[in-house]
Structure 1
Amino acid sequence: MYKTISLFFGLLLGNHLFAQQQYELSSGWKCSIASAVKINGEQLSVPSAALTDWQPATVPGTVLTTLINNKQVPDPMFGMNNEKIPDIYHTGNARYTYWFVKDFKELPPAGDGQVWLHFRGVNEGCDIFLNGHRLTAATHHGAYLRQSFNITPWLKQNGDNRVAVIVYPPPFPGNPNGGQGGDGAIAKGVGPQYTAGWDWIQPMRDRNTGIWDKVFIERTGAVRIKDPHIVTLVPGVRKPGLAQAPADVKVSATLENSSSRSISGTLKYTIDNTTASAKVTLPAHATVTVALPGLQVKQPKLWWPHGYGEQYLYQSSLQFIDAAGKQQSANTIPVGIREIQTSWNPHTNSREVAVNGQKIFIKGGNWITSDALFRFSAERYDAEARFHRDMNLNLIRIWGGSLTERPEFFAACDKYGLLVFQDFWMSGDCNGRWLDPMKKEDQWTRRQYPDDHNLFLESVADQIKMIRNHPSLAFWCGGNEITPPADILAAMKDSLIPKLDGTRYFFDYSNSDSMSYNHIGGNGDGPYGIQPISVFWGERTFPFNSEVGSVGTGDYESLQRFLPKENLVVPATGKGKLDPVWDYHKYISYNQHIDPYGATNDLREWANKAQLVNYDQYRALMEGFSAHMWDWYTGVIIWKTQNPWTALRGQMYDYYLDPNACLYGTRKGAEPLHIMYNPLDGMVTGVNNTFNYERDMMLEVRTFDRLGHDSVLTKVFVEIGPTSIQKYLSVKPMIDQLRKKEGIFLSLRLVKAGGQIVSDNFYWLPNEDGKYNGLAQLPVAGLQCSAKRIKPGVISVTLKNPADGAVAFFNRVSLVNAQHERILPVFYDDNYISVLPGETKTIEISGENVVKEGKAQVEVYGHNVQRQYIEIQ
């Protein structure tokens, strides 16, 4: 039906923290429900044991993923198929307790060589066997806890090996009763809470039971390098693009000697042709953490968040070389040299963030996880991070009811310059903050979840070690809207994080007073749902708002991917009137905001009008917060920017990676140098989120009526300082008069010498009654479109609107295949654009799928532009 990227892991491992000689066990797995297996793990893991009637298994993946891929259950993303899948709460855990088996080739190593078997994530418990031997001393528990086994003694001489894993579901899957996290019992374990259902997702029926993350084999010498720790320090105030003073780098790593003899050698770290080393002697079977002497990088290339500078990554190396000169183990570690600081802004009463000594206004998005069934891939992570970069955001917050994100996610954020705010696995809903009749146990009981505090802390320590070297990782957070229990909080705050990291600020919880002083009461979040545009400009909310926003319905092409034909209807309003499938997919009503554009019973038209609302909402949200930066606010994080399921809310692109107008409204409102219009007082205001002083810009303010007649309100030279806002002039009396009857188009531009447009912002304003009746009467615009490939992977689309006509309003550009179905994902440097009479605009389309799809066309349609398909030259 459409082309999209794979939802499963490919062979790309990423070498962020791993030794060089390693490979993934990602294919050829088989599985069976445990109740049908009549032999034990020791017997099953013998390579000669028969696997009669076993089915192909998806690893990494959950039990439910395997069942879907084997067509034993329907796709839970579509319609109400999820209701057809048995829920673990009703069936009992045995229904989703499975054996997974993998045969693989690996010869015993020569000499001191060692072979390791690594599991990066199993949910929730497991026992692991290899070649007739049990590897787990006791049953493993903990969805977030990595496991490593030295399997050298158990490898078969002929190289034919078998690993067998029995996976147990969460012991307390909870009742999916419609509450946030169901009845809350899911939080008794250490694992993702959203799998029991939330107000933006239906429950995952197996609660994501399975070998959900990578399994791989690693080869090393007798000494293995584990958990390297790279800290970069950038003293002083830096500016991108200049020659830099030195930066300091501190390195440590854990060395494990698997041999029965003492080994001496040198641990050596190299970055930018600069080396630090230390001689080490490791006793037999010892594990030692070694700190290297500090080193300096001269004239470093720094890593900056998106919008402020380059995201330079050094490829550094860590080696252990024994006394005989043999390399026992080696790691390649990408490093971004940067330092993140925070301070308390006493004017806003909120946390202020600086990178490399320069204050950064935080523009962020809340993230759940890439896929609700944990079907992850480096390619999908890259696409989603790129979407966030394209929205001109500079931070992603990982919400606490989900997981610690994977190294591939952080690698994508490193690449695109996105700071990461990582919650740990708590939520105010499940963990007792509020009185909730949907919950099984009282608040005092839930306040002590999870049952095993030691497992939680062990998992915290392990996950810190896994991701701490990524420059994008900026903050740790105890949980979503609640602190962990007192003993867990104290251990994290006073011991684990200072010892294992010590460079990142720790927030007790996501909306704590240490982040944003709550001066207006409530939960410290919101508002949620669609707001009047004036709210974002005129009503003060929390000074570093961790969650605000919510809408995000896609267009017709998006809706038809997961709504059955009979449910492709305009959503009704009123209790009991909403289509049940829309309700099941968590729809938030748009109609009172779409009605000013004119009521309709046609879903395609309704969805296109919803995009007008989407664009306006998120442009206004980003503009309203930016207009008050450093006065009311130091940051804002949108709730939420993506959906791991086919929900009808809170997303800038749909589950299938098709962007909607929320993305481009956010992109416009959050652009680093931006000109904008305050709807309350008519003030034309500039915002500069760069470190540059911008001078000699012409501010052009023009209006257009529905026939395309323009009025130039002003042209004036303006300037604006770095990281600041600047009010220029109010045009409210003129605008109010012009828009009185039919509404008006307002064009704001900042133009530099030679006609270079550095900010272009186009509003459609309603009439005095708040209706957009002028848009309903727009004449058809004769938009002329062409497309050509300008280099591999990039298509340039030209949109030319003839003079003496109407504005070509709100045009969606899409790359489609020969069947006119959208190719996903691809990336547009702008979309939902309007072209003024007599003007030409270009849009660039890029991405890997632009290269792969040879017979593509470009589709263009707009509010008053007929749909057309363009051949690519």
Structure 2
Amino acid sequence: MNKTLLFAFIFIQSFIDAQFSERSLSSEQWQFKNTKDHTWLPAKVPGTVHLDLMQNRIIPDPFKDENEKKVQWIENEDWEYRTVFKVSSKELENTNIDLVFRGLDTFSEVYLNGKQIGNTDNMFRTWEIPVKGYLKVGDNLLQVKFRSAVQTGKKLAENVHFTMPESPRSFVRKAQYQFGWDWGPRFVTAGIWKDVQLSFWNQARLKQVRIGQASLTKQKAELNIRAEIIAEKPGDYSLNINHQSKKITLKQGLNVIELPYRISNPKLWQPNGWGKPDMYELAVTLKKGSSTIDQSFQKIGLRTVELVQEKDKQGKSFYFKVNGRPMYVKGTNWIPADSFSPRVSKEKYQKLIRDCKEANMNMVRVWGGGIYEDDEFYKACDENGILVWQDFMFAGSFYPADENFQQNVEAEVKDQVERLQNHPSLALWCGNNEVDEAIVNWGYQKQFKYSKEDSMQVWRDYKKIFHEVIPNAIKKYAASDKAIYWPSSPSIGWGHKESLTEGDSHYWGVWWGEQPFEIYNEKVGRFMSEYGFQGMPSMATTKSMFSGKPDLNINNPVIKAHEKHVRGWEIINTYMARDYKIPADFMQYNYVSQLLQARGMQIAIEAHRRAKPYNMGTLYWQLNDCWPVVSWSSVDYLGNWKALHYQVKRSFENQVILPEEKNEVLNFYVINDELKTFENVSLDFDILTLNGEKKGSAGTAETKTLEPNGVLKLDPFSLEEVIGDSDRNEIFLHLMLKDAKNNVITESNYFFSKPKDLKLTKPNVSVKKISPMEIEVSTDVLAKDVYLMGNTHFSDNFFDLLPNRPKRILLAEPLQHIEVMTLWDTMN
């Protein structure tokens, strides 16, 4: 940068700073204490009281041992935070000074220099308080006094004459999972969980910029930029979008300015698997004459998303049309990445979303019992082509609908819609998780002895919040009238026939209903937004549950404490006995529990994909964990891929071969989710023994064209024709889909028996170092479910290895030693 440009930049920046600037107070020296105590202790902002107590060694690490039980007292206490910050005479000359809290958890009173300036009752809202009249030159004392959310919630519950399930969490607008879940601990925390800042401004400021997409063609994108501007000084200004300028006249107070903007020959934001998620940067600049008053930088993507629901012979479709094409959704459900959200780093957000991309996903559902995630989460989704199904933060309970609650919810919706709506990844707003389901199917009314009027009141309250308040707020505050709203996930509970013929479905016949995995082949809905099965985390994460030397025993109380489902171990063992031999060795048990989880989800995902286009989406439960735990996750708390995530990567490939064994017939489905045609594809399959020898001659299915975004069902083979007089426990199919030039598009294996029945031979698996970051793995006979163990991430793991077919594996970090386990080891 030359000196002239540098001077110009500094001059403009200093003028902006003079007109509008922000100063973070998070880095000030904060203190906290229990209101019953007199001693102040150091605190961090953003943070939570649990983290501050841990930092000051008042409590042990709640994630370790059985320490969760030892910290339950915290939720019933009141806590106070304070800091002293300086304000200069120059700063005080600004016409307007606002104190902005991005997140306060949850019930608090805010004091500045001894005077109460505000109170809060919602963790998910931004609180902006004018404070110029309360500030002074020099030291200023800021205090935030938090009341116990549990005790406050109990008092709010007294306003309803019947018992609400999950009380008091239903009355508290804070992250519902903090009250405990069947995968998470109970840490009902408090604190300043997001940034705090002072905002200085004078003539005017940009309050909000909404970018609406009026139309989109190959030739042009027509945008509507809607800027909300608060003017202290009325008069003539100009509003610039990149290099386009419009003169405007502002009145004192709130002004809404709309400005059209065109992009020629637009590059589309494409979801993962369809192309690049191209984006554009827009600089929205407010100017007074030649002086820049305020700026807002937006990064947008140009795309269309529609939710298509059309009646058909089976019921009603439910699928997303992206950029004019039906898209088969492949993805997962997201829960908060930590029980204490402020310590989730940008790097952790980026890694988890990259994990989604690498596993061939194109959508993630943000579950309604957590938080509206950090900006970095949505940024990562934008950059990686991952669409977001965004629940509002209501989950699995009944909720009140009094006037105060309605107003609080509307303000919450406003803040979140305005914050998130410009992200191209945002596909759908959903009112709640399983609230409709809880009212209709869970029997709370009978359990709590509701009168008919009580039950009617619950339903009226539900309708008010999720069919009026939230959708009306979206219409009011969203940039586009094309914003998609879906009242509840699921739309119909899994015990009802209609749940499989319309809407989205949460199918829990597996796990909760203890139905066999094979039931997934029958229970296929139009869009499967939840289903799952538990598996243990990696050995490293399991060991992290202990503060000292780990005692790795399935009956160890620490291990048991990190399984939050009341019947979790029992259910895992029931399913394991069906499909595997239950190992006595703990490491082998850990390994088999992961294989079991992966096998169940493979059966589910493949049943869903075979049903395309009847079924157009599969989101398994769940991607991640909030602490070290035995759970439904595919990536454990420390970021390690479980067997499930490796299997998901394979099952979600854009081209897959999906065999189906039914009525003594073997059907083959070939799925193509990509927007490209494969001419003259053929399916070759070898019938192999478990020793890797060919059994008879190889078969070839007929040559056909695989259409873009299509499904190809090949002519079936009779099982007798394939198996003949072979023992089905001793053979398997190796399947290869080839193009016209005989290149392999995709390949997979199909076994005719459950894993426990396979007559495996001991494999001699060798690992050869190719380079510090690459190894080659080979075997003399079939090595089933090869598990590579080492302190790094492997590009593939928990895979079947064919004899004399070496496989190259990339390492995230170099290793000196790698151990190997296979399924054979657990059976002998």
The separation in 1 between residues aligned to 2:766 and 2:816, in whole angstroms, is 19
Match of 2:124 in 1: 144
From the two aligned structures, give the one with the greater helix fraction: 2
Alpha-carbon contact 1:782-1:865 (below 8 Å) kept: no
Structure 1 residues 443-842: aligned runs within 5 Å:
448=401, 452-482=405-435, 485-492=462-469, 495-501=472-478, 502-512=481-491, 517-518=498-499, 524-527=505-508, 528-529=510-511, 532-537=516-521, 539-562=522-545, 568-570=552-554, 580-581=560-561, 583-584=563-564, 587-588=568-569, 589-595=571-577, 596-631=579-614, 633-680=615-662, 681-711=665-695, 713-716=698-701, 717-731=703-717, 732-733=719-720, 736-737=723-724, 740=727, 742-752=729-739, 756-766=743-753, 771-775=756-760, 777-788=761-772, 795=773, 797-801=774-778, 805-813=780-788, 822=791, 828-842=794-808
Partner residue in 1 for 2:63:
77
| 1:402 to 2:370 alignment | yes
Residue 845 (structure 1) shift: 4.4
Return the letter of the residue paired with 1:863. T
1:192 to partner: Cα distance = 1.9
Match for 1:339 among 304, 311, 315? 304
The one-letter amino acid of 1:231's match is: G
- Give percent identity, aligned residues only: 21
Check conservation: 2:538, 2:640, Cα contact below 8 A. Answer: no
Contact 1:106/1:161, CA 8 A, preserved across alignment: no
> What letter is aligned with 2:642?
N
User: Match for residue 318 of structure 1?
Assistant: 284
Matched, 1:370 2:354: no
Q: 1:9 matched to which residue of 2?
A: none
Further displaced range: 65-74 or 80-89: 80-89
2:196 aligned to 175, 192, 215, which one? 215
Contact 2:272 2:386 in 1 (8 A): yes
- Tell me, yes or no, if the aligned pair for 1:397 and 1:422 is still in contact at 8 Å: yes
Shift of 1:523: 11
- Report if aligned partners of 2:733, 2:751 keep a CA contact under 8 Å in 1: yes
Counterpart-to-counterpart distance in 2, 1:649 and 1:320: 50
Q: Is 2:782–2:802's contact at 8 Å kept on the other side of the alignment?
A: yes
**Which of 350, 354, 359 is the matching residue for 1:386?**
354
Task: Write the distance in 2 (CA, Å) between the matches of 1:359 and 1:114.
Answer: 50
Q: CA deviation at 1:494?
A: 5.4
Q: Partner amino acid for 1:774?
A: K
Asked if structure 1 preserves the Cα contact closer than 8 Å seen for 2:338 and 2:627, the reply is: yes
Opposite residue 674 of structure 2, the aligned amino acid is: T
Structure 1 735/607 Cα, relative in aligned 2: closer, same or farther at 3 Å?
Answer: farther
Measure, in 2, the Cα distance between the counterparts of 1:786 and 1:128. 61
Partner of 1:164: 143
Q: Which residue of 2 aligns with 1:268?
A: 240
Q: Specify which of 48, 53, 67 is matched with residue 67 of structure 1.
A: 53
Find the residue that maps to 1:108 and give its secondary structure: helix
Residue matched to 1:411: 379
- Secondary structure of the residue that 2:603 maps to in structure 1? helix
**One-letter code of the match for 1:807?**
L
In 1, the alpha carbon distance for the partners of 2:360 and 2:201 equals 42
- Name the counterpart of 2:35: 35
CA contact (8 A) 1:676 1:686 kept: yes
- Counterpart for residue 871 of structure 1: none
Structure 1 residue aligned with 2:263: 297
Q: Render the CA deviation track for 1:118-172: whole Å, top value 9, x for unaligned.
A: 2111111223344x264x64322211110124555666556x6553322333254
Over residues 62-108 of structure 1, what are the superposed CA-to-partner deviations in whole Å (9 max), with x where a residue is unaligned?
1111112222212222232100113356xx3xx24222325467773
Query: Within 2, Cα distance between the matches of 1:739 and 1:329?
Result: 76
Q: Deviations over 1:169-214 (max 9, x none)?
A: 3254569xxxx9984211112222222222222311xx12111122
**8 Å Cα contact 1:306/1:394 also seen in 2:** yes
Q: 1:115 to 1:60 in 2, by over 3 A?
A: same
Task: In structure 1, give the amino acid aligned to 2:488.
Answer: Y
Larger displacement relative to structure 2 (335-344 or 481-490)? 481-490
Q: Which amino acid aligns with 2:475?
A: P
Name the SS for the 1:197 alignment partner.
strand
| Residue type at the aligned position of 2:690 | R
Q: What amino acid maps onto 1:690 in structure 2? A: E
Task: Report if aligned partners of 2:763, 2:783 keep a CA contact under 8 Å in 1.
Answer: no
More deviation in 328-337 or 208-217? Answer: 208-217
CA distance in structure 2 between the aligned counterparts of 1:690 and 1:733, rounded to whole angstroms: 34
After TM superposition, the structure 1 stretch with the greater mean CA deviation from structure 2, 586-595 or 305-314, is 586-595
Hey, what's the Cα distance between the residues in 1 that align with 2:807 and 2:742?
13
Contact 1:619 1:668 in 2 (8 A): no
Give the SS at the match of 2:228: strand
Paired with 1:325 and 1:522, the residues of 2 have a C-alpha distance of 54
Could you tell me which residue of structure 2 aligns to residue 861 of structure 1? 820
Tell me: CA distance 1:763–1:58, structure 2 relative to 1, closer, same or farther (3 Å): farther
Runs of 5+ consecutive residues of structure 2 not aligned to the other structure: 1-18, 156-162, 437-460
Asked whether the 8 Å contact 1:57–1:100 carries over to 2, the reply is no
- In 2, are the aligned partners of 1:267 and 1:319 still within 8 Å (CA)? yes
Whether the 8 Å CA contact 1:302–1:311 is kept in 2: the answer is: yes
1:524/1:621 CA distance change after superposition, 3 Å = closer
Query: CA RMSD of the aligned region, Å?
Result: 3.5
SS of the counterpart of 2:537?
A: coil
| DSSP 3-state at the match of 2:186 | coil
Residue type at the aligned position of 2:145: I
Structure 1 residues 450 and 83, CA gap change in structure 2 (3 angstroms): farther
Distance 1:556 1:362, change over 3 A: same
> 2: distance between equivalents of 1:607 and 1:209?
35
Shift of 1:653: 1.0
1:319-342 CA distances to partner (integer Å, 9 max, x unpaired)?
1011x2110001111101111112
Q: In the alignment, residue 316 of structure 2 is paired with which amino acid?
A: N
Cα distance in 2 for residues equivalent to 1:454 and 1:536:
42
Q: Deviations over 1:572-626 (max 9, x none)?
A: 9xxxx99743555763532244344323210111112223222222222211100
TM-score scaled by structure 2?
A: 0.83
Amino acid aligned to 1:267:
L
- CA distance 1:780–1:521, shift in 2 (3 Å): same
Asked if structure 1 preserves the Cα contact closer than 8 Å seen for 2:362 and 2:386, the reply is yes
1:188 and 2:182 equivalent? no
- When residues 672 and 108 of structure 1 are mapped into structure 2, their CA distance, relative to the original with a 3 A threshold, is farther
Letter in 1 for 2:677: Y
Q: Who is 2:101 aligned against?
A: 119
Distance 1:647 1:450 in 2: 39
Whichever residue aligns with residue 334 of structure 1, its letter is K
Structure 1 residues 225 and 582 mapped into 2: Cα distance closer, same or farther (>3 Å)? closer
- Relative to the length of structure 1, the TM-score reads 0.79
AA at the equivalent of 1:597 = Y
Give the equivalent residue in structure 1 for 2:12.
Answer: none
Deviation at 1:497, TM superposition (A): 1.0
Instruction: Give the Cα–Cα distance (whole angstroms) in 2 for the partners of residues 763 and 20 of structure 1.
Output: 64
Determine if the alignment matches structure 1 residue 350 to structure 2 residue 335.
Answer: no
Distance 1:146 1:138 in 2: 12
What amino acid sits opposite 2:490 in the alignment? N
* 1:23 positional shift: 5.7
Contact 1:232 1:247 in 2 (8 A): yes
TM-superposition CA deviations, 1:218-245 (whole Å, max 9, x none): 5555321122111225546xxxxxxx32
Say if 1:235 and 1:356, in contact at 8 Å, map to a contact too.
no
CA contact (8 A) 2:182 2:565 kept: no
